A and B are shown apart, each in its own frame.
Chain A
Amino acid sequence: MGAVAAQATTEIRALAQILDELDYYNVLEITPDASASEVRAAYHRATRRFHPDGHRQIGDDMRPVLGRIAKRVAEAYSVLRDPRRRQVYDQQIRGDSARVRMPLVQAEAEAERQSRDARLGKTPNGRRYFVLAQADVARGDKVAAERNLRTALTFEPDNGVFKDLLGQLRGKR
């Protein structure tokens, strides 16, 4: 094994040892304020160093180690490249510094929940009456819809979506 390969092996070993303690930013060696293009550049940089294809000469014992790093790099990237997932992740690591990984599906579900909240309301009761109002609209019962929307607004007075629908209903009548 040449000096370069030996150096690479040492580097890979060292990284693998602490991998589970690194958050996604650490994994990609960027700061939490990195821009989207910095995230991408970091991903490319990391894969240049750690993609198994680049280490043909490496010992068989090191292959799984390298594989672990490569997979973590991809995982980090798949969260940080997506603004919605990244936002959720940022909240998570801020709240709980021990949590450095996030199931990707959780990231997606969480991101979806947030955008849904924005759409449908933040409180269970707000959502509840909003859904009922939508059902009323679908059925053509505008009076009931208005009543339900007004109830929904008592839980979330600032909800723009609720207000919009109410405005539309009033406009139609």
Chain B
Amino acid sequence: MIRSDVLKALIPVISDHFTVCNIGLPSQEMHMMDDQPTNFYMLGTMGLSSSIGLGLALAQKQKVISIDGDGSVLTNFGTLPTIANNVADNFILLIIDNGSYGSTGDQPTYAGQKTSLAAVASACGCENVVECQAEDAVETMKAALASDKMTIIVCKCESGNIPVPVITMDPVVIRDRFMTEMAKRNA
């Protein structure tokens, strides 16, 4: 399974929750397969999906899932200690780890070599870290959602991409649609 297969399998489970979709293909794939107000698409700013998701989770009560990548987490490694030390039990960080910078042409990352992101997250102090294979992503996500505990999921999958259109929505429209839905659910 490649990232788009993992997302496709996860959509029935995560569709009703707020997601922060990482820059590039993860956002484009979520936009193509399940566009809706609860999706926040990052059009730029590599690395900050987990930080935005943490800020969202700390600010309100709805569950927030950051859909991140191995390359992006490597770019913003400082996020893991911050997450570990600021526990938000409505936050799930899903790192789809295909061992490559998928959006830029599948250049290998260190996460696909010697570096274990799950081990790093644990060493940073994150308490519920689960590494799973792509085939188990749905069950792992269901368990994390049911636990009501902040969870870091490192989902290992194969690298590879499907053709997807770029997102042409205006950023302020993405943001306003997302915030309106969030305010509605928190009302």
Q: Do A and B come from one complex?
A: no
Which B residues lie at the A interface, using CB under 8 A? none
